Amino acid sequence: MAIQTVNPNTNKVVKSFEEMSDHAVDAAVAQAASAYTNWRKTSYKQRSEVLHKVASLMRAKKEHLATLITLEMGKLFAQAEGEVVLSADIFDYYATHAEKFLADKHLSPEYGQAFIRHSPIGVLFGVEPWNFPLYQVARFAAPNIMIGNTILVKHASIVPQCGIAIEDLFKEAGAPVGLYTNLLISGKRASALVADERIKGVSLTGSEAAGASLASEAGKHLKKSVLELGGSDAFIILEDADIDKAVEWAVVGRLNNNGECCVASKRFIAVEAIADEFLSKFKAKLAATVVGDPMDPKTQLGPLSSEAAAVQLFIQVKKAVAEGASLVLGGKRPDRAGAFMEPTILTDIKPNMAVYYEELFGPVAAFYKVKDEAAAIKLANDSPFGLGGSVFTEDVERGKRVAEQIDSGMVFINHPTWTQADLPFGGTKGSGYGRELSELGIDEFVNKKLIRTSALSDPF
C-alpha cells in the first residue's frame, strides 16, 4: 500500500514515502522496549515535563501543523487549528493530573493493610486514523506515557507527514529515543506486529474490519486491547425543543470535520409534531453551505479525505435511492476537481435498506420522522453502533431520562456529541470497547497491583 500525501482538494500526489523495512521495524520495537526499562523508573515530574513541552511546541507550531492536517486529509483550516489546540490541551491535562489519577488507592481489608499501586505494563502499539491526525494520537499517547509505558504508532497511510511531525515534536521536546516512535507501515503489517512479544497492549481507532482484525490478533496473544470504531449517532429532536437551535447544532453536528467524524450526528430523528419544520429549516441551512478549498476561510465544507472515500459515499447514496430512499437535497459530486460530495439529505429510509444500518462517513444526513419519544428511542437503538448521541428538548430532566434509554457510550443533551480532555470517550456494541480521555482514559493500560501486608496473627 502506498504511503503518500494526496491533497484531497486537488487529488494530486504531493509527497511519497517508503515503507519501513522489517529490519527497521524490529529495531524500532527493540528501541521502545529498551526505553521502557528506564522510562518506567522516571518520576511523574520528569514525565510531565516532556508532555508539557510537547504541548507548548504544538501551540507554537499551530499554523504549520494545521496546514499539514488540511493538506493531507482536507479538514477546514480553522478546524485544523482547533484540533492542534485540543491536542495540546490533552497533553497538558495528563501531564497535570496523572499523578493524582494514579495515586495509590488504600483499601480497608478485614485483616492487615493493603493498597492498589498503578504500574506501567510496557510497550504499547496504537493504530490511529486519518480524520483527526493529532487528536487521536494525543488521547492514546498522553495518558500512557504518563503511566510509564512507551509508545509505537502506526498512523493512517494518507497522513504520513502528520505522523512524522508528531514524532518530531517528541524529539524536539527532549524525549528519550524510543519513548514515542512513528512506524511507516501498512495496515496488514500492523496486525502482524501485534504478535511481537515485546508489545504488551494495542489500541485502534478506525473501521470495524480493522478493529476486528487487530482485536483477533490481540486476543490470540492474550493482550489487552482498546477499540474505538465507527458510529451512527442519533440526533433526537423532541416536540419541546428549540427548533432553531436544534437546526444550528444539527448542521454543526453533521458537517464538522467535513462529516468525517465517528461521533458526527448522522441519523436525525424528529417527532412528527415538529418534523416538517425541522427538516425544512435543516435543508435550507445545508443548501446554503459554501463548498470549496479548505484553506479558504469562507469555505464551510471541504473535500472528503480521499477520492476513494468520496466515491464510496456517493455509491452508498445511489444505492439508497435505488432501494427506495428519497433524496431531499444533494446526492451528487460537485463539478470540480477534488474529493468532494454535496451536502445531502436522505429520507424514507427503511430497515430493509442497506443504508439503514450503515455509517455515512461524510456530509450525508439520514432523516427520520417518528410518532413520539418512545419511537425515537427505539429507532435510535436500532443500530449496530453505539458511540454517541444527542437529545434536544427544553426539559433537561426529560432529556436525561431519554439519554438513560439510549444504548451508547455517550449522550449529549442539547448539543451534538463532542469531545474534550476531561470527558471520557468510548462506545458500546459495534463502536468498540474501552475508554479514552478523562481519568478513565488512564485506566486501560495499567497494572493495578495489589500490595498487602499481614501480621503474623492474621488467619489464612
Q: Is 56 helix (H, G, I), strand (E, B) or coil?
A: helix
Catalytic residue positions, numbered: 228, 262
CA separation, residue 1 to residues 32, 184, 187, 310 (Å): 25, 11, 8, 19
Query: What does the pLDDT read at residue 458?
Result: 67
Domain that holds residue 247: 233-413
Query: What does the pLDDT read at residue 22?
Result: 96
Query: What does the pLDDT read at residue 1?
Result: 60
Within a domain: 460:
no
Within a domain: 339:
yes
Residue 324: which CATH number? Answer: 3.40.309.10
168 and 275, same structural domain?
no
Query: What does the pLDDT read at residue 459?
Result: 62
Query: What does the pLDDT read at residue 188?
Result: 87
Beta strands 224-228 and 150-154 are unpaired
Q: Which residue has the cell 526505553?
A: 35
Q: Which residue has the cell 489546540?
A: 85
CA separation, residue 375 to residues 101, 372, 382 (Å): 41, 5, 11
pTM of the model: 0.97
237 and 225, same structural domain?
no
372 and 343, same structural domain?
yes
DSSP H or E run through 377: helix 373-381
Q: What is the Cα–Cα distance from 147 to 395, expressed in whole angstroms?
A: 41
Q: Is 54 helix (H, G, I), strand (E, B) or coil?
A: helix
Rounded to 5 degrees, what angle do the CA atoms 21, 170, 18 make?
A: 25
Question: Counting beta carbons within 10 angstroms of the beta carbon of residue 42, is it exposed (0 to 12), middle (13 to 18) or buried (19 or more)?
Answer: middle
Query: What does the pLDDT read at residue 2?
Result: 79
Within a domain: 151:
yes
Pick from 365, 299, 284: nearest CA to 336: 299
DSSP string, 110-176: SSSEEEEEEE--SEEEEE--SSSTTHHHHHHHHHHHHHT-EEEEE--TT-HHHHHHHHHHHHHTTPP
Within a domain: 223:
yes
CA separation, residue 145 to residues 46, 149, 167, 351, 413 (Å): 11, 5, 14, 45, 33
127 and 108, same structural domain?
yes
Within a domain: 424:
no
Within a domain: 456:
no
Within a domain: 169:
yes
Within a domain: 76:
yes
Beta strands 180-183 and 150-154 are parallel
What single DSSP character describes residue 48?
H
Neighbouring CB atoms inside 10 A of 293's CB total: 18
pLDDT tens, N- to C-terminus, the chain (460 residues): 679 999 999 999 999 999 999 999 999 999 999 999 999 999 999 999 999 999 999 999 999 999 999 999 999 999 999 999 999 999 999 999 999 999 999 999 988 899 999 999 999 999 999 999 999 999 999 999 999 999 999 999 999 999 999 999 999 999 999 999 999 999 889 989 999 999 999 999 999 999 999 999 999 999 999 999 999 999 999 999 999 999 999 999 999 999 999 999 999 999 999 999 999 999 999 999 999 999 999 999 999 999 999 999 999 999 999 999 999 999 999 999 999 999 999 999 999 999 999 999 999 999 999 999 999 999 999 999 999 999 999 999 999 999 999 999 999 999 999 999 999 999 999 999 999 999 999 999 999 999 999 866 666 6
Residue 186: which CATH number? Answer: 3.40.605.10
- What is the tally of structural domains in the chain? 2
257 and 135, same structural domain?
no
* Cell digits of residue 140: 492514546
Q: Give the up-direction half-sphere exposure of residue 146: CA atoms within 13 A in the CB hemisphere.
A: 31
